[in-house]
């Protein structure tokens, strides 16, 4: 019950549409999926694999969120809407994470053993993002909407694009309890192009100080 209370408070803090804990408990599929998963994971750890998979499939049909019973999920996970989320068997998710609809935490092939990502604490993964492979996404990281992450993401970093590129955010922790903006995220390629354009214009001004640069 303590973990459930923490989860409901986390939803209230991160979802402006949440009006009461009772509403969250009764109407939010992310909460239902998490509760189902706690049961499925207990059955999985105690060797009741068929019952665990059965329970997880019932949860999938009820919520649109597919979480393998073997996945390890930390405290205060918030799943916003949640439709289309897929979380693989060897996925590990830390505390205070936020997942939007359409997120996939998956593998890259038929490898055995650890084949799904490890998500650190306080990580935001925006809608439609895909994190594929047995690497770590560091604490306080942000993954932009639609990004496809195929390699490790450091702590306090942002991953953008397909395939995703990593941008440091000066080593400062971002408090995602209040900051849930998933679209205003800097694109490193755009920044590089802007810097190159500015440099080219400066060189042209130096070469042609009194006249308009030739047309290209």
Tens digit of each residue's pLDDT (9 = 90 or more) over 15-70:
888 888 899 999 999 999 999 999 999 999 999 999 999 999 999 999 999 999 99
Q: How confident is the model at residue 128 (pLDDT cuts 50, 70, 90)?
A: very high
Question: Which residues lie across from 187 on neighbouring strands?
Answer: none
pTM for this prediction? 0.76
Banded model confidence at residue 208, pLDDT cuts 50, 70, 90: confident
Residue 188: predicted pLDDT: 59
Average pLDDT, the chain: 86
Q: Which residues does 131 contact at the CB level (< 8 Å), separation at least 6?
A: 103, 104, 105, 106, 117, 119, 125, 137, 143, 149
User: Which residue from 16, 11, 43 is spatially nearest to 30, judged by alpha carbons?
Assistant: 11
Structure tokens at 99: 């997942």
Q: What confidence score (pLDDT) does residue 44 get?
A: 96
SS3 210: coil
For 173-185, what is each residue's pLDDT tens digit? 555 544 555 555 5
pLDDT digits (tens, 9 = 90+) for 64-95: 999 999 999 999 999 998 899 999 999 999 99
């Amino acid at each position: 019950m303590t973990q459930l209370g923490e989860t409901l408070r986390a939803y209230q803090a991160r979802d402006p549409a949440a009006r009461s804990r009772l509403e969250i408990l009764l109407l939010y599929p992310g909460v239902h999926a998490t509760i189902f998963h706690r049961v499925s994971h207990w059955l999985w750890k105690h060797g009741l694999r068929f019952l665990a998979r059965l329970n997880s499939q019932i949860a999938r049909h009820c919520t649109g969120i597919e979480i393998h019973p073997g996945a390890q999920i930390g405290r205060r996970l918030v799943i916003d809407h949640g439709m289309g989320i897929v979380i693989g068997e060897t996925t590990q998710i830390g505390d205070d994470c936020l997942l939007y609809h359409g997120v996939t935490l998956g593998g890259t092939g038929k490898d055995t053993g650890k084949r799904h990502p490890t998500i650190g604490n306080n990580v935001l993964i925006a809608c439609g993002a895909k994190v594929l492979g047995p690497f770590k996404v560091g604490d306080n990281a942000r993954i932009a909407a639609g990004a496809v992450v195929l390699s490790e993401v450091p702590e306090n970093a942002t991953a953008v694009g397909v395939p995703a590129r990593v941008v440091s955010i000066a080593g400062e922790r971002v408090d995602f309890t209040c900051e849930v903006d998933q679209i205003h995220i800097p694109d490193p390629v755009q920044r590089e192009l802007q810097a190159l354009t500015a440099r080219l214009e400066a060189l042209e001004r130096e070469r042609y100080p009194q006249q308009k640069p030739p047309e290209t």
